[in-house]
Structure 1
Amino acid sequence: MALSFIEEYFQIPVVTRAYTTACVLTTAAVQLEVITPFQLYFNPDLIIRRYQIWRLITSFLFFGSLGFTSVFNIICIYHYCRKLEEDCFRGRTADFVFMFLFGGIIIALLGLFAKIFFLGQAFIIMLMYVWSKRQPLIAMNFFGVNFQAPFLPWVLMGFSLLFGDSIVVHILGISVGHLYYFLEDVVPNQPGGRRLLMTPELLRAMFDQPEDPEHRPLQHDQQGGDGQPDEE
Structure 2
Amino acid sequence: MSDLGTWFRSVPIVTRYWFAISVVLPLLGRFGLVNPLWMYLDWDLVIYRFHFWRPITALLFYPVSPQTGFHWLLMLYFLYNYSKNLESGVFSGRPADYLYMLIFNWLICTGICMAAGVYFLLEPMVLSVLYVWCQLNKDTIVSFWFGTTFKTSFVLGYAIPYLRNAGMLSMPTAYESVDHGLRMRPCERSVTL
Q: Which TM-score band applies after superposition, normalised by the shorter structure?
A: 0.7 to 0.9
Q: CA deviation at 1:41?
A: 0.6
Query: How large is the RMSD of aligned CA atoms in angstroms?
Result: 2.1
Alignment partner, residue 76 of structure 2: 74
User: Per-residue CA shift, 1:144-202, capped at 9, x if unaligned?
Assistant: 65421132133224435886957xxxxxxxxxxxxxxxxxxxxxxxxxxxxxxxxxxxx
Q: Once the two structures are superposed, what CA deviation does each residue of 1:76-103 show, in whole Å capped at 9, x if it has no partner?
A: 1111110000001001111101101100
Deviations 1:30-70 (A, max 9, x none): 12101232211111221222222211111111232152111
| Cα 1:162/1:81, change in 2 over 3 Å | closer
Q: Measure how far apart 1:137 and its partner are.
A: 1.7
Equivalent residue number for residue 179 of structure 2: none
Matched, 1:156 2:156: no
Work out whether 1:147 is the aligned partner of 2:150. Answer: yes
Corresponding residue pairs, total: 165
Q: Hey, what does 1:108 align to over in structure 2?
A: 110
C-alpha separation in 2, matches of 1:74 and 1:142: 15
TM-score, normalised relative to structure 1: 0.65
Work out the CA distance in 1 between the residues paired with 2:159 and 2:125. 14
Cα distance in 2 for partners of 1:31, 1:44 equals: 24
Give unpaired runs (5+ residues) of structure 1: 167-232
On the 8 A contact 2:61/2:122 being kept in 1, the answer is yes
Identity within the alignment, %: 25
Q: Normalization by structure 2: what TM-score?
A: 0.77
State the secondary structure of the residue aligned to 1:53. Answer: coil
Structure 1 equivalent of residue 39 of structure 2: 40
Residue identity in the other structure for 2:131: Y
Q: Structure 1 pair 8/157, CA: closer, same or farther in 2 (3 Å)?
A: closer
What pairs up with 1:1-20 in 2 under 5 angstroms?
A: 2-20=1-19
